[in-house]
Structure 1
């Protein structure tokens, strides 16, 4: 089967991949403003409803670990279509749930189906080539940050006008439209790229045994952890400590999304002028600078919205400049195991993001300081890895 695509198909394929990027973050963030309404509907506490976030993340992570290498063995199209059907069934189950355990169960089912959206990274590897891959990954990383920022705002709007069920109806509609597009665009069935692979986790052993892959995946994980840590602790900083209203807090997240746009534009410009290793170094230096700035501003002026937001915008720009390139470098090492490679990178991202954000959140009264120190230490470690990979180029 030829994987070549025509020029006429490319814009629609890019739009479809962007929709998959949206669906990867939408079901997790869009329900956050609906927690009180969900708690009231199911006659429980918001703490119990909040467990749906943790359960969703667990189901999503476990699913993508299986789906990536499975897609290399049995093909992408059928697995992707099946996963979207499972995600829709999970969302329908959430709407029909009569109590909290049923709701939590169907959230896990929805998350397992959403694990299929990790195949968007493998499909970039399959459908595009060379610098096109890198440009598209920059655009997808930028869009992912924007979607993370606007999803809670959209969730608040849906909750205000139609209640908590509206976010699930919106997800079902988007997922159904994406399923139809996948069925039409992925012609030829996308047969296996590594049909002879034996054992799902042998594929992971294969990719992680490559030191360059491990280095690039770690760099990507570090930049994601910086971004994810801020998302996790931002409600504690802005609403609990600085006493911003939910509306004011949502506006700060919109600025965060704007930083992703600026970072994406810078990444596109740098991509045309600099080598990949140099571009990654530029982004990591920005993250290191943001760590220094947040420490200095907190020391000189104390905790305030500007002293947190300004360095975070710098960090976001650095993340957007670095992560698409490190992802692309990691994925390019295993074109015949793109599914396993995509899942491996994503697993490292979520493990690092979860662990580091959990660590930072334990410093309740020193959140900005702990953020700044982590950004500085992690970015220096990533710069060291990038320097090693540049000095020891991978030999095909």
Structure 2
């Protein structure tokens, strides 16, 4: 069935999926320049305030375990609409949070926005094959990077002018727009709904038995882990160690998102010709080179913002190339379980990223320099290369490369 704009009886336009997926990205990073200011506002340690990132990621990972199977049982459309309604209400509560504990609770509920990322992948896989899915996911991710690319820049300016709550007003606006667009344009694409939620969970062993599923999921987790570690530790390094203002941090952050957008364009353009496994390997090698270059620059005494943000261009580029292909692999191993695979694979991906985000933030101090962050990013990218090689080896044995 051909997609028609603003027709809730046909598959959605790709722009609808971009907006839905972008809402989760905006919620994840638009407030990053405000983290040091939030620590002062709530009189809390930075390690506690940083939980606004890591707890959000943990909640996103857990919720994906239910969002995927729920969409296989009830359909993509109702699950996405419900999730965005919860996101809108929790964002309203976050704006008026009286304590850091209340804000952290709101951040957990905001993680329902993950439905936009999880279900956009499943919706694509509902309608096209594996290589075409990688291409479309690449274009969707490239489009959705526009919002998080400008988000930290706008968030830094808003923070300096109006305080940290203003960044949550921006999240609220995104949530409302996403809900309306999904309501008006998202036609149901799940033509074969499962008989029950428990039946979908009983199908998990079928996914667990697939070596390729684990390989793709691990690759996605380690690939995104470098980026999530940067989300958790980057603001501390930029503001405390390099002396950047919130708005300057937002401007420099655009470097990694420009690289990510370019990587997603390359993924969308070449995945069908090159193949998803080779694209994953190329992307993760770029990320290893980027983090290694940053470590080298700081060891040589170049304590400049570009020593951190310049090489992260290659981290963003590598993530943009590798992640769409890894995610396409996750949902293509067992196509009849696309929703469950997307949810479970996403949970492993985000859960691993959350752990690395906490790890990077826990060891950063004024005395440590940027090295705990950079080493976590480097070894995460290196592990992604190794898991990609594992997938390639398994595919060769099965004749599936």
Which residue number in structure 2 is paired with residue 381 of structure 1?
386
Question: How is 1:1-396 mapped onto 2 (pairs within 5 angstroms)?
Answer: 4-6=1-3, 13-34=13-34, 44-45=43-44, 50-98=50-98, 100-111=100-111, 113-117=112-116, 118-187=118-187, 190=190, 193-195=193-195, 198-199=198-199, 201-271=201-271, 273-361=273-361, 362=363, 364-365=368-369, 366-367=371-372, 370-371=375-376, 373-375=378-380, 377-393=382-398
Task: Quote the offset at 1:225 in angstroms.
Answer: 1.0
Alignment partners' CA distance in 2, 1:135 and 1:236: 35
Structure 1 residues not aligned, in runs of 5+? none
Equivalent position SS for 2:198? coil
Alignment partners' CA distance in 1, 2:374 and 2:172: 41
Which deviates more, 59-68 or 165-174? 165-174
Task: Quote the offset at 1:192 in angstroms.
Answer: 5.2
On the 8 A contact 1:280/1:386 being kept in 2, the answer is no
Relative to structure 1, the CA distance from residue 172 to residue 232 in structure 2 (aligned partners, 3 Å threshold; closer, same or farther) is closer
Alignment partners' CA distance in 1, 2:299 and 2:99: 48
Relative to structure 1, the CA distance from residue 296 to residue 123 in structure 2 (aligned partners, 3 Å threshold; closer, same or farther) is same
Relative to structure 1, the CA distance from residue 85 to residue 384 in structure 2 (aligned partners, 3 Å threshold; closer, same or farther) is same
Alignment partners' CA distance in 2, 1:164 and 1:239: 16
Relative to structure 1, the CA distance from residue 377 to residue 89 in structure 2 (aligned partners, 3 Å threshold; closer, same or farther) is closer
On the 8 A contact 1:197/1:203 being kept in 2, the answer is no
On the 8 A contact 1:290/1:375 being kept in 2, the answer is no
Task: Quote the offset at 1:368 in angstroms.
Answer: 6.3
Q: Deviations over 1:30-57 (max 9, x none)?
A: 233445776787x654656554444433
Relative to structure 1, the CA distance from residue 375 to residue 100 in structure 2 (aligned partners, 3 Å threshold; closer, same or farther) is closer
What number of residue pairs does the alignment pair up? 390
On the 8 A contact 2:135/2:269 being kept in 1, the answer is no
Q: Deviations over 1:305-331 (max 9, x none)?
A: 333333322222122111111111221
Relative to structure 1, the CA distance from residue 180 to residue 347 in structure 2 (aligned partners, 3 Å threshold; closer, same or farther) is same
Structure 2 residues not aligned, in runs of 5+? none
Alignment partners' CA distance in 2, 1:185 and 1:152: 28
TM-score by length of structure 1 reads 0.84
Alignment partners' CA distance in 1, 2:190 and 2:151: 32
Equivalent position SS for 1:225? helix
Equivalent position SS for 2:138? helix
Q: Deviations over 1:62-113 (max 9, x none)?
A: 22221111211222222221222122222223345555554444443333x3
Q: For the aligned residues, what is the CA RMSD?
A: 3.2
Alignment partners' CA distance in 2, 1:11 and 1:161: 41
Relative to structure 1, the CA distance from residue 379 to residue 131 in structure 2 (aligned partners, 3 Å threshold; closer, same or farther) is closer
Alignment partners' CA distance in 2, 1:96 and 1:228: 27
Alignment partners' CA distance in 1, 2:44 and 2:257: 31
Alignment partners' CA distance in 1, 2:45 and 2:154: 20
TM-score by length of structure 2 reads 0.83
Which deviates more, 306-315 or 161-170? 161-170
On the 8 A contact 2:72/2:200 being kept in 1, the answer is no
On the 8 A contact 1:31/1:155 being kept in 2, the answer is yes
